[in-house]
């Protein structure tokens, strides 16, 4: 019996010594991580992760090291992610932020969780912005679409998605993205962008002699944003299509929107001539009078006024 008790006592001493040695080794690994934080964060992270694994295996003996590691690791991952953002390594940064978020939730590091959730969409926006600036429109579209798909209320991302689609010549998709942006805090800018798309379509249709399409697109412009040029295009298209009453209507809207435009005199002379053709001499005189001070058309306008007396 005495021999058995002595053997058990010897085993307890040996185990205690082993635990002490293990804890010392774990502490050494932990301290190596702490020393590396300022010079090599990735190496430090590996040390803390190893220390956490080994300290967890020690049970109660390693509790303090475990607690410290669980506090440090999420913050260190977040710090590494921020360094990657500064270096514009956006994909790597997003991956590391996802890791920080996951481990932060696991270890209840609430500040890390909050920061990571806030940073991930910001970094994705930065990535998409770089692609757009580099004229990688397909890449930018994919990047912005990922953001918008994850958060349909992100008006800023929807607006930039529209810009990317527009630059890529995907006009229907651009309009849809701008509509989404308009519904989510970007109304003024988004509607102006949609108006610009319709304005280009109106000008192209006029050039191609698709007069009805030109008028329709020009009308859409002013549903989204006031634009004098759209009324001018509508007037020109209507005149060329032989729809003089419509031409008068649109040219008058142009002059109301841009009374001091460089071509205001020319447009006023045209309206006067159209009214004269319609045998409305009173309105013809009104618009010839407006054109009478124009450097190019003034003399002719005065002749027409004299003829109408």
240 — pLDDT class (breaks 50, 70, 90): very high
pLDDT, tens only, 241-253: 999 999 999 999 9
Between CA 113 and CA 118 the distance in angstroms is: 9
At what angle are helices 155-167 and 137-150 packed, to 10 degrees?
Answer: 150
129 — pLDDT class (breaks 50, 70, 90): very high
119 — pLDDT class (breaks 50, 70, 90): very high
DSSP H stretches of helix in 37-62: 41-57
As a whole number, mean pLDDT of residues 13-30 equals 66
Query: Domains in the chain, ordered, with CATH?
Result: 17-117 (1.25.40), 135-185 (1.25.40.10)
Q: Reduce the DSSP state of residue 209 to 3 states and report it.
A: coil
As a whole number, mean pLDDT of residues 256-265 equals 95
- pLDDT at residue 21 in the model: 56
- pLDDT at residue 308 in the model: 85
123 — pLDDT class (breaks 50, 70, 90): very high
Map 72-126 to HEC letters: HHHHHHHHHHHHHHHCCCHHHHHHHHHHHHHHHHHCCCHHHHHHHHHHHHHHHHH
As a whole number, mean pLDDT of residues 228-248 equals 97
Between CA 136 and CA 129 the distance in angstroms is: 10
**pTM for the complete prediction?**
0.77
- State both tokens at 231: 């009324």
Question: In sequence order, which residues have a C-beta less than 8 Å from that of residue 240 and are 6 or more positions away?
Answer: 206, 209, 211
Identify whether the C-beta of residue 147 lies closer than 8 Å to the C-beta of residue 128. Answer: yes
pLDDT above 90 (res 261): yes
On average, the pLDDT of the chain sits at 91
pLDDT, tens only, 290-303: 999 999 999 999 99
Cβ-in-10-Å burial (0-12, 13-18, 19+) of 4 comes to exposed
DSSP letter assigned to residue 225: S
């Amino acid at each position: 019996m005495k021999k058995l008790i002595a053997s058990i006592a010897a085993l307890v001493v040996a185990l205690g010594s082993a635990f002490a040695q293990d804890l010392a080794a774990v502490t050494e690994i932990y301290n190596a991580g702490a020393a590396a934080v300022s010079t090599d964060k990735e190496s430090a992270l590996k040390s803390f992760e190893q220390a956490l694994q080994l300290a967890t295996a020690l049970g109660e003996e390693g509790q303090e090291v475990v607690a410290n590691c669980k506090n440090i690791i999420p913050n260190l991952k977040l710090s590494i992610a921020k360094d990657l953002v500064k270096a514009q390594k956006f994909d790597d940064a997003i991956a590391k932020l996802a890791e920080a978020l996951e481990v932060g939730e696991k270890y209840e590091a609430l500040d890390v969780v909050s920061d990571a959730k806030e940073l991930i969409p910001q970094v994705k926006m930065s990535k998409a912005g770089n692609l757009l600036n580099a004229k990688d429109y397909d890449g930018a579209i994919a990047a912005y679409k990922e953001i918008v798909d994850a958060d349909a209320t992100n008006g800023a991302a929807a607006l930039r998605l529209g810009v990317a689609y527009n630059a890529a010549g995907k006009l229907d998709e651009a309009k849809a993205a701008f509509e989404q942006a308009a519904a989510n805090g970007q109304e003024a800018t988004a509607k102006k962008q949609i108006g610009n798309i319709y304005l280009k379509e109106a000008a192209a249709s006029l050039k191609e002699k698709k007069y009805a399409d030109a008028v329709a697109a020009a009308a859409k412009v002013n549903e989204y944003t006031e634009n004098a040029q759209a009324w001018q295009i509508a007037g020109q298209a209507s005149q060329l299509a032989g729809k003089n009453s419509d031409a008068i209507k649109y040219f008058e809207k142009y002059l109301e929107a841009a009374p001091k435009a460089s071509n205001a005199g020319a447009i006023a002379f045209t309206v006067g001539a159209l009214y004269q053709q319609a045998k409305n001499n009173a309105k013809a005189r009104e618009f010839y009078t407006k054109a009478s001070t124009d450097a190019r058309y003034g003399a002719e306008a005065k002749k027409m006024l004299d003829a109408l007396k």
